[in-house]
Amino acid sequence: MKVAIIDYGSGNLRSAQKAFERAAREAGIDAVCDVTDKPEQVLAADRIVLPGVGAYADCRAGLDGVPGMVGALQEAVVEKARPFLGICVGMQLMAGRGLEKQVTDGLGWVPGDVVEMTPDNEDLKIPQIGWNTLDIRKPHPLLDGIETGPEGLHAYFVHSYHLRCEDEAQCIATTDYGGPVTAMVGRDNLVGTQFHPEKSQRLGLALITNFLRWNA
Amino acid sequence: MTLKVRIIPCLDVAGGRVVKGVNFVDLVDAGDPVEAAIAYDAAGADELTFLDITASSEGRDATFDMISRTAERCFMPLTVGGGVRTVADIRKLLLAGADKVSINTTAVNNPDFVAEAADKFGNQCIVVAIDAKQAVSEDGPDRWEIFTHGGRNATGIDAVEFARLVVEKGAGEILLTSMDRDGTKAGYNLPLTRAIADAVSVPVIASGGVGTLDHLVEGVKEGHASAVLAASIFHFGTHTIAEAKSHMLEAGIPVRIKI
């Protein structure tokens, strides 16, 4: 199996790559996980990962700055329906628009805006940084076998904005931070996590393994 | 449930080895950083912080190697600070495997660097490390002053005002160390911690002075910190991360028990 982790000048690519390699190794999955900025490698991949750390507009500009990458993504993910995982800002880029600092178009795969979090408790700090649990809105193969809910495993979040889905059926999981905050979105062969599976120890490695096994 | 309070072991490193200063002097070798990181990962630490106190460029290269070896083995968040002066420094640390970068002296000398870094890498990636010491005042209110260069240089800058300024510039988190307390085991400077935590909208990590598990509880309850950092009580085996977490849980603080 070929996994393409997209390099567009953003994100903790090495951590993501190492986490995918470890998950594959432990699950006995024969996977080559490459960090790449080559559109042809994305088109040839069986699984596509879009990581992302940074400001929304900067990340979008970075993605547009790789010649042919947005087109390759559209073709591989939308037309050829290859399993796709967006992480953090990579997940936010799946949205229609990002409203961080300015209005920026996303990829438009999951309709909705990426908006600032507005916790109902003013003592809560922004960004949300740290470990929180997941509340499932809709069962998803990537969460198979993972303990969720208040007594479940924790995921690592670092963010000030979240994706508010227009279609609530596309919100797979939320986390509680002064009200529900979108933690995971998806439809068809596309899925995105606001948290960082590559930094979420047991929960993260289990989710990545599920992604590698997912026949979307 | 809600966000959990983080317990963060801090590894002071020089030339790729862990050291721990008492009041930032008298360094004692506390072992290999990658092995320490793996042990903390398995023990349920919520994050790790590396503070690179290396002076030479050879030592700096050893640090990058240490970070990348750690990131290959530990799937938990890593913050790295020490000697960060340019956007290129930050990129290099992130590519090596850091998730957050902590900026100290450069932020004091040029607060606009915080804005530049946050615009480039996002606020969530930029931690400003503030080293503060009680200012001598006759009978006025408590006041704390910023120090740089590992606590050697006084700046005359007010710590609370500076914290507000860097958050305005885009710092996503403050790592606050009390210079008076660091290495003393006398507990966090709680009035300082609370003054800064209440002044800014971003999370504050309390640092400097932990000697007992009650100090961790105080940092959150009285200091209003979002996360608590400690070094020697963990490095020298006085307490485990699990002991720290159950102590905090008993005190009513939400922590991540199931790792």
Chain B, residues 170-229, CB within 8 A of chain A, namely: 172-173, 201-203, 226-227
A154 is a catalytic site residue: no
Q: What is the pLDDT of residue B31?
A: 65
Distance from CA of A86 to the nearest CA of B (A): 17
Joined tokens for residue B180: 């008076």
Nearest CA in chain B to A198: B75
Establish whether the linkage from the previous residue to A127 is cis, with ω within 30° of 0: yes
**A138 contacts A169 by C-beta, under 8 angstroms:** yes
Least confident of A5-9, A161-165, A178-182: A5-9
Reference B180, options B232, B211, B134; nearest CA is: B134
Query: Helical H runs in chain B?
Result: 33-43, 57-73, 87-96, 105-109, 112-121, 159-169, 190-199, 213-221, 232-235, 241-250
Q: Are residues A129 and B203, on separate chains, in Cβ contact within 8 Å? A: yes
A100 is a catalytic site residue: no
Q: Which of A59, A88, A165, A171 is catalytic?
A: A88
Side-chain half-sphere of B166: how many Cα atoms within 13 Å?
35
Q: What is the pLDDT of residue B187?
A: 97
Reference A132, options A148, A108, A115, A110; nearest CA is: A148
Per-residue pLDDT of chain B (259 residues; tens, 9 = 90+): 589 999 999 988 888 887 764 332 333 445 678 888 888 888 899 999 999 988 777 788 888 888 988 888 888 899 999 989 999 999 899 888 899 999 999 999 999 999 999 988 889 899 999 999 998 776 777 899 998 887 788 899 999 999 999 999 999 999 999 999 988 999 999 999 999 999 999 999 999 999 999 999 999 999 999 999 998 888 777 888 999 999 999 999 999 998 7
Q: What is the pLDDT of residue B25?
A: 32
Quote the mean pLDDT of chain A. 95
CB pairs under 8 A between A and B: 124
Q: Are residues A53 and B94, on separate chains, in Cβ contact within 8 Å? A: yes
Q: Are residues B77 and A124, on separate chains, in Cβ contact within 8 Å? A: no
CB-CB neighbors (< 8 A) of B67 in chain A: none
Q: In this complex, which of B119, B172, B256 lies closest to A131 when CB atoms are compared?
A: B256
Where is A91: in which H helix or E strand? helix A89-92
Reference B244, options B223, B219, B222; nearest CA is: B219
CB-CB neighbors (< 8 A) of A18 in chain B: 71-72, 75, 97
Q: What is the pLDDT of residue B238?
A: 84
CB-CB neighbors (< 8 A) of A180 in chain B: none
Stated pTM of the model: 0.94
Mean pLDDT of A131-149: 97
Q: Are residues B173 and A132, on separate chains, in Cβ contact within 8 Å? A: no
Q: What is the 3-state secondary structure (H, E, C) of A135-183?
A: EECCCCHHHCCCCCCCCCCEEEEEECEEEEECCHHHEEEEEECCCEEEE
Whether residue B120 lies within 8 A of chain A, CB to CB, comes out as yes
Q: Are residues A126 and B201, on separate chains, in Cβ contact within 8 Å? A: yes
Q: What is the pLDDT of residues A115-127, one digit of tens each?
A: 999 999 988 999 9
Whether residue A133 lies within 8 A of chain B, CB to CB, comes out as yes
Whether residue A179 lies within 8 A of chain B, CB to CB, comes out as no
Q: Are residues A176 and B1, on separate chains, in Cβ contact within 8 Å? A: yes
Q: Are residues B46 and A131, on separate chains, in Cβ contact within 8 Å? A: yes
Mean pLDDT of A91-96: 97
Nearest CA in chain B to A122: B201
Q: What is the pLDDT of residue A11?
A: 65
Q: How confident is the model at residue A10 (pLDDT cuts 50, 70, 90)?
A: low
Q: Are residues A198 and B75, on separate chains, in Cβ contact within 8 Å? A: yes
Instruction: Tell me the catalytic residues of B.
Output: 12, 131
Whether residue A150 lies within 8 A of chain B, CB to CB, comes out as yes
Q: Measured at the alpha carbon of residue B86, what is the angle toward residues A117 and B171, in degrees to the nearest 5?
A: 25
CB-CB neighbors (< 8 A) of B119 in chain A: 55, 58
- Residue B28, C-beta contacts closer than 8 angstroms, at least 6 positions apart: B19, B20
Q: In this complex, which of B4, B71, B120 lies closest to A131 when CB atoms are compared?
A: B4
Mean pLDDT of A74-96: 97
Q: Are residues B94 and A12, on separate chains, in Cβ contact within 8 Å? A: yes
Whether residue B41 lies within 8 A of chain A, CB to CB, comes out as yes
Q: How confident is the model at residue A24 (pLDDT cuts 50, 70, 90)?
A: very high
Q: In this complex, which of A130, A199, A200 lies closest to B4 when CB atoms are compared?
A: A130
Whether residue A177 lies within 8 A of chain B, CB to CB, comes out as yes
